[in-house]
Amino acid sequence: MEYAKFLNEARENATALPYEKMELYKRYTKRFAIEMPRSDSHENIKDAEYAEGAVKYLSQIMGGAPDVILLNGHLIGNTSGIVDEVDPASEASFSDRKLYKNDEDKFAAFANGFSKTVLRIRVDGHRRVNVLIYGGDTALPVQVLVNAAEGSDLTLNEFYFSEGTGAAIIGVLNEINTESNSRVELNSIHCEKEEANAFAMVKGVSGRGSSISLNTIYAGGSFIRQRNMLDAQGLGSGVEANDIVLGVKGQAFDIFTHLINSNEDTRAQSAMKAVLMGGSMAYMKSMAKMKHGAKRSKSAIVERGLLYDKASHIDLIPDMSIDESDVKAMHSSSSSPISKDDLFYLCTRGITEDDAKLSIALGFILETVARINDNNVKTFAANLIRDRLVGANFSLPDNMNSKDVWMTDINRKAHEVQGDSDDDRI
Partner 1 sequence: MLEIKDLHVSASDKMILDGLDLVIKQGEFHVLMGPNGSGKTTLAKAIMGYPGLKITKGDILVDGKSILGLPTDRIAKLGLFLQFQAPVEIDGVGFVNFLKSSLESINDKTLNTREFMKDVKDYSTALKMDKGVVGRSLNKGFSGGEKKKAEILQMALINPKLAILDEPDSGLDIDAIKVVAENINSIAKKNNQSLLVITHYNRILSYMKPEFVHVISHGRIVKEGGLELIEHLEKMGYEEFEKA
Binding positions for partner 1, rule: CB under 8 A: 339-342, 344-353, 355-356, 359-360, 362-367
Angle formed by the axes of helices 106-114 and 3-16, nearest 10° = 130
In the complex, the smallest distance separating the C-beta of residue 379 from partner 1, rounded to whole angstroms, is 16
Q: Which is nearer to partner 1, 329 or 362 (CB)?
A: 362
In the complex, the smallest distance separating the C-beta of residue 7 from partner 1, rounded to whole angstroms, is 47
In the complex, the smallest distance separating the C-beta of residue 333 from partner 1, rounded to whole angstroms, is 15
Q: Which is nearer to partner 1, 191 or 356 (CB)?
A: 356
Among 218, 288, 293, 281, which Cα is nearest to 251's? 281
Among 263, 270, 366, which Cα is nearest to 317's? 270
Rounded Cα gap, residues 329 and 297, in angstroms: 8
Rounded Cα gap, residues 407 and 28, in angstroms: 36
In the complex, the smallest distance separating the C-beta of residue 358 from partner 1, rounded to whole angstroms, is 10
Secondary structure (DSSP) of 74-139: EEEEE--SSEEEE-TTSHHHHHH-SS-SS--SHHHHHHHHH-SEEEEEEE-SEEEEEEEEEE-S--
Q: Which is nearer to partner 1, 323 or 355 (CB)?
A: 355
In the complex, the smallest distance separating the C-beta of residue 166 from partner 1, rounded to whole angstroms, is 36
In the complex, the smallest distance separating the C-beta of residue 272 from partner 1, rounded to whole angstroms, is 15
In the complex, the smallest distance separating the C-beta of residue 365 from partner 1, rounded to whole angstroms, is 7
In the complex, the smallest distance separating the C-beta of residue 362 from partner 1, rounded to whole angstroms, is 7
368 in Cβ contact with 271 (< 8 Å): yes
| Residue 354 dihedral angles phi and psi, to the nearest 5° | -60, -45
Among 417, 416, 423, 411, which Cα is nearest to 75's? 411
Residue 261 falls in which region: left (phi positive, over 0), alpha (psi -120 to 50) or beta: beta
Strands 83-86 and 117-123: antiparallel
Amino acid at 399: N
Vertex 159 angle, CA 153 and 164, to 5°: 165
In the complex, the smallest distance separating the C-beta of residue 360 from partner 1, rounded to whole angstroms, is 6
**Dihedral angle at the C-alpha atoms of 189, 383, 129, 79, nearest 10 degrees?**
110
| Bridge partners, 159 (sequence order) | 132, 189
Q: Which is nearer to partner 1, 285 or 304 (CB)?
A: 304
Kind and range of the H or E element at 412? helix 406-418
Rounded Cα gap, residues 6 and 24, in angstroms: 30
Rounded Cα gap, residues 14 and 35, in angstroms: 8
Q: Which is nearer to partner 1, 95 or 339 (CB)?
A: 339
Neighbours of 129 (CB within 10 A): 23
* 386 burial via Cβ count (<10 Å: 0-12, 13-18, 19+): middle
Q: Which is nearer to partner 1, 270 or 368 (CB)?
A: 368
In the complex, the smallest distance separating the C-beta of residue 342 from partner 1, rounded to whole angstroms, is 5
263 in Cβ contact with 257 (< 8 Å): no
Q: Which is nearer to partner 1, 211 or 368 (CB)?
A: 368
Q: Which is nearer to partner 1, 24 or 343 (CB)?
A: 343
Q: Which is nearer to partner 1, 30 or 340 (CB)?
A: 340
In the complex, the smallest distance separating the C-beta of residue 388 from partner 1, rounded to whole angstroms, is 16
Q: Which is nearer to partner 1, 60 or 352 (CB)?
A: 352
Q: Which is nearer to partner 1, 4 or 347 (CB)?
A: 347
